């Protein structure tokens, strides 16, 4: 690996446009077989035309912490985001972790400060949205738009949404389309909609358990499709150097519907009606995510480097390697090995990436866009993903740090209007008790 000193100059060596597609809980254990069966052709093509491998996560596999490590190249001890929740100031009430609690710069800040533009959509721990050279949409936005069932965006709602986007004009661009998409899909009858193929039968819709589970599946899918619609709208209006978009539906569905795919691992028992209805859901949703990724890729040209990654894999109710409980729930259902794929110009075709960590994504991104890698990042550049000609043309440069200025001081989490709903969702998934 060629290394050079960047000195004070971090502006040279412009690279290609980069698209990061982040899929929570994506796992090679399902992907490899589904690729072989032709059920996830988009991800299969990315793998075959690019470089791929396992992406090692960080125990205890808590998504907010891991996605922050992916975005910073640093461990949770360095970046300070440890869990889904953090104690607030008033009576030490526990609230969801917020972006101001991150102690180090994420890639969107580094890019913005070094003559690169960036768009970030729905990444975890981005409430409140941060000032960037480009745009940012907080993961909280869809919940803010949809949680109270209102169909309009009046002055009161705009005030509540102000911290969810940057710049404020983004809300006018995506608010209505996101809300319309979400409500339309979330309220549709899945048996006669695009989700019908994910249900083994629709004969038991009068069963309360089945009805509740179908509603949850519809909402999870609606969230991912609404995110896709936000990508469509923003990518056409804003051309940026790096775009990062996060999809959460697969992880939510794996937590909820795994017991129907592997009922023998759950032990608590499921009704025959629910088992018949929901056994196909997870593998079907892999195909839905593949289709969504394909729609995202249509918005970028062939000169774009695509990075597909997950924060962890998924082991289900048997738990990660070493799990000693009877039935795994919450983060115990995750496992260490996630997914990493690079595809596009300068990327090795049919390349193999060995020993990759979630800490390596941001250093590799910086190298791709022509910025130096900081020595105080724990991660490394995944040079195995690069075609040798790329390293010859663009040697990897280094600097000591991007952490300039006065540094971070202890801060309390910033509440959002939907914290109670977020906490209830975390509780239903087994993340918290």
Residue ranges of alpha helices (H) inside 89-206 are 107-112, 141-146, 155-161, 169-187
**Dist CA 26 CA 40 (whole Å):** 12
Q: Which domains does the chain show, CATH number per domain?
A: 17-428 (3.40.720.10)
Q: Tens of pLDDT along 256-286?
A: 999 999 999 998 878 888 888 999 999 999 9
399-403, long-range: CB < 8 A, 24+ apart: 399/5, 399/6, 399/7, 399/10, 399/372, 399/373, 399/374, 399/375, 400/374, 400/375, 400/376, 401/374, 401/375, 401/376, 402/105, 402/110, 402/113, 402/374, 403/104, 403/105, 403/374, 403/376
Give the confidence band of 227 by pLDDT, cuts at 50, 70, 90. very high
Question: How many other C-beta atoms lie within 10 A of the C-beta of residue 181?
Answer: 21
pLDDT at position 1 is: 44
| Stronger pLDDT, 184 or 133, i.e. the higher one | 133
**Dist CA 311 CA 29 (whole Å):** 15
Q: State phi, psi for 254 to the nearest 5 degrees.
A: -60, -40
CA 112 to chain CA mean position, Å:
20
pLDDT at position 189 is: 75
Q: What is the DSSP letter of 38?
A: T
Residue 233 buriedness (CB in 10 A; 0-12 / 13-18 / 19+): middle
**Dist CA 179 CA 165 (whole Å):** 15
Give percent of the chain with pLDDT exceeding 70. 90
Does position 224 have pLDDT exceeding 80, yes or no?
A: yes
Q: Tens of pLDDT along 392-416?
A: 888 999 999 999 877 777 788 888 8
- When pLDDT is averaged across residues 205-226 and rounded to a whole number, the result is 86
DSSP states of 51-114: EEEEEE--TT--HHHHHHHHHHSS-HHHH---SSEEE-SGGG-EEE--GGG--S--HHHHHHTT
**Dist CA 341 CA 353 (whole Å):** 9
Could you tell me the two tokens for 170?
């983004």
CB 408 within 8 A of CB 104: yes
**Dist CA 282 CA 426 (whole Å):** 19
pLDDT at position 201 is: 75
Q: How many CA atoms lie within 13 A of 345 on its CB side?
A: 13
Q: Tens of pLDDT along 12-50?
A: 456 799 999 999 999 999 999 999 999 999 999 999 999
The secondary structure element, H or E, covering residue 212 is: helix 208-237
The dihedral region occupied by 5, where left means phi > 0, alpha psi between -120 and 50, and beta the remainder, is beta
Give percent of the chain with pLDDT exceeding 90. 66
Query: 259: helix, coil or strand?
Result: helix
Q: Which of 122, 361, 109 is nearest to 245 (CA)?
A: 122
| Stronger pLDDT, 148 or 391, i.e. the higher one | 391
Does position 418 have pLDDT exceeding 90, yes or no?
A: no
**Dist CA 394 CA 377 (whole Å):** 20
Could you tell me the two tokens for 102?
């991150």
Strands 305-309 and 134-137, bridge-based pairing: unpaired
Q: Tens of pLDDT along 278-316?
A: 999 999 999 999 999 999 999 999 999 999 999 999 999
CB 194 within 8 A of CB 181: no
Does position 147 have pLDDT exceeding 80, yes or no?
A: no
CA 105 to chain CA mean position, Å:
18
Query: 405: helix, coil or strand?
Result: coil
pLDDT at position 185 is: 84
Could you tell me the two tokens for 97?
């972790």
Least confident of 135-139, 148-152, 330-334, 341-345: 148-152
pLDDT at position 378 is: 96
**Dist CA 16 CA 28 (whole Å):** 27
pTM: 0.94
Q: Tens of pLDDT along 82-131?
A: 999 887 655 556 889 999 999 999 999 999 999 999 999 999 999 999 99
Measured torsion, CA atoms of residues 56, 47, 18, 120, in degrees rounded to the nearest 10: -60
Query: 400: helix, coil or strand?
Result: coil
pLDDT at position 56 is: 98
Could you tell me the two tokens for 416?
């959002």
Could you tell me the two tokens for 149?
């069932």
| Stronger pLDDT, 201 or 403, i.e. the higher one | 403
Q: What is the mean pLDDT of the chain?
A: 89
CB 394 within 8 A of CB 15: yes
Does position 336 have pLDDT exceeding 50, yes or no?
A: yes
pLDDT at position 2 is: 45
């Amino acid at each position: 690996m060629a290394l050079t000193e960047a000195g004070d100059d971090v502006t040279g060596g412009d690279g290609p446009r980069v698209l990061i597609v982040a899929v929570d809980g994506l796992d090679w254990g399902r992907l490899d077989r589904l690729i072989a069966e032709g059920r996830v052709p988009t991800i299969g093509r990315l793998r075959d035309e690019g470089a791929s491998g396992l992406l090692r996560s960080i125990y205890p596999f808590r998504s907010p912490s891991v996605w922050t490590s992916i975005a910073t190249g640093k461990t949770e001890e360095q970046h300070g985001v440890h869990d889904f929740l953090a104690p607030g100031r008033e009576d030490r009430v526990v609230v969801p972790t917020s972006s101001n609690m991150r102690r180090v710069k994420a890639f969107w800040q580094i890019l913005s400060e070094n003559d690169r533009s960036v768009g970030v959509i729905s990444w975890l721990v981005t409430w409140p949205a941060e000032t960037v050279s480009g745009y940012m949409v907080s993961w909280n936005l869809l919940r803010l738009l949809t949680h109270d069932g209102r169909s309009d965006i009046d002055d009161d709602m705009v005030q509540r949404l102000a911290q969810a986007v940057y710049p404020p004009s983004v809300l006018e661009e995506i608010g209505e389309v996101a809300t319309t998409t979400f409500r339309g899909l979330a309220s549709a009858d899945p048996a006669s909609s695009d989700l019908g193929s994910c249900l083994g039968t629709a004969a038991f819709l009068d069963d309360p358990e089945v009805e509740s589970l179908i509603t949850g599946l519809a909402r999870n899918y609606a969230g991912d499709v609404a995110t896709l619609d936000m990508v469509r709208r923003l990518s056409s209006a804003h051309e940026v150097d790096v775009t990062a978009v996060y999809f959460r539906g697969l992880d939510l569905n794996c937590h909820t519907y795994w017991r129907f795919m592997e009922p023998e691992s759950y032990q608590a028992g499921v009704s025959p009606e629910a088992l018949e209805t929901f056994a196909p859901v997870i593998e079907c949703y892999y195909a839905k995510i593949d289709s969504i990724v394909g729609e995202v890729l249509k918005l970028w040209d062939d000169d774009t480097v695509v990075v597909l990654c997950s924060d962890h894999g998924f082991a289900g109710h048997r738990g990660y390697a070493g799990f000693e409980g009877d039935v795994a729930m919450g983060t115990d259902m995750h496992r260490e090995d996630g997914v990493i794929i690079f595809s596009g110009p300068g990327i090795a075709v049919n390349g193999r990436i060995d020993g990759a960590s979630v800490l390596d994504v941001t250093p590799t991104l910086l190298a791709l866009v022509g910025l130096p890698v900081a020595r105080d990042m724990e991660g490394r550049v995944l040079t195995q993903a690069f075609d040798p000609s790329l390293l010859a043309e663009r040697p990897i440069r280094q600097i000591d740090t991007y952490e300039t200025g006065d540094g971070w001081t202890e801060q309390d989490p910033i509440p959002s209007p939907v914290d109670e709903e977020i906490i209830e969702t975390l509780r239903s998934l087994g993340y918290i008790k």
